Amino acid sequence: MQKSYKLENLCCAHCAANMEHAIKKISGVNSATIAFMTQKLILEAEEENFPAILEEVKKAIRKVEPDCKLIEP
């Protein structure tokens, strides 16, 4: 399942790259791309565990940039 989210307060391109790297390592995530310029995360992950995976993703984002928030559509 692929979903796209807006990221708020994503203010450093290097952090975005680190975040992307961290999210890709979460088990169940098939692919993740963060576009710094449009402040978007495109996440593709296993359907059945999606909510749990999303929580992990949020944790990873907080760890890299504490002020950055994932906005659920």
Partner 1 sequence: MKISFTRSQKKTIARIIASALLFAFVSLLPLDGALRLLAFLIPYFIIGWDVLYHAGRNIIRGRVFDENFLMGLATIGALAIGQYPEAVFVMLFYKTGELFEDVAVARSRQSIADLMSIAPDTANLLRGDEFVTVSPEEVPVGSTILIRAGERIPLDGEVIEGTSELDTAALTGESLPRAVSVGDAVISGCINLSGVLTVKTVKTFGDSAVSRILELVENAAAKKAKAENFISVFARYYTPAVVAAALAAAFIPPLFFNGVWEEWIFRALIFLVVSCPCALVISIPLGFFGGIGAASRHGILIKGGNYLEALAKADTFVFDKTGTITSGTFSVVSADADALYYAAYAGAESTHPLSVSIREAFGTVDRSCVKNITELSGRGISADVAGHQVLSGNAKLLQENGVLFEPDGAEGTAVYVAVDGVYVGCVLLEDTIKPEAQKAFADLRSLGIRKTVMLTGDRAEAAKRVADSVGAAEFRANLLPQDKVAAVEELLAEKNGSLVFVGDGINDAPVLARADIGVAMGALGSDAAIEAADVVLMDDSLTRLPEAIRIAKKTRRIVIQNIVFALGIKFGVIILALFGVATMWEAIFADVGVAVIAILNSMRMLKV
CB 70 within 8 A of CB 4: no
Considering the complex, what minimum distance in angstroms separates the CB of residue 55 from partner 1?
Answer: 17
* Site residues for partner 1 per CB under 8 A: 11-15, 17-18, 20-21, 33, 35-38, 40, 42, 63-64, 66
- Report the distance separating Cα 38 and Cα 29, nearest Å: 21
63: Cβ–Cβ under 8 A, 6 or more apart, which residues? Answer: 22
Considering the complex, what minimum distance in angstroms separates the CB of residue 62 from partner 1?
Answer: 8
Closest to partner 1 by CB, 46 or 63 = 63
Closest to partner 1 by CB, 20 or 48 = 20
Count CB-CB contacts under 10 A for residue 18.
Answer: 16
Considering the complex, what minimum distance in angstroms separates the CB of residue 9 from partner 1?
Answer: 10
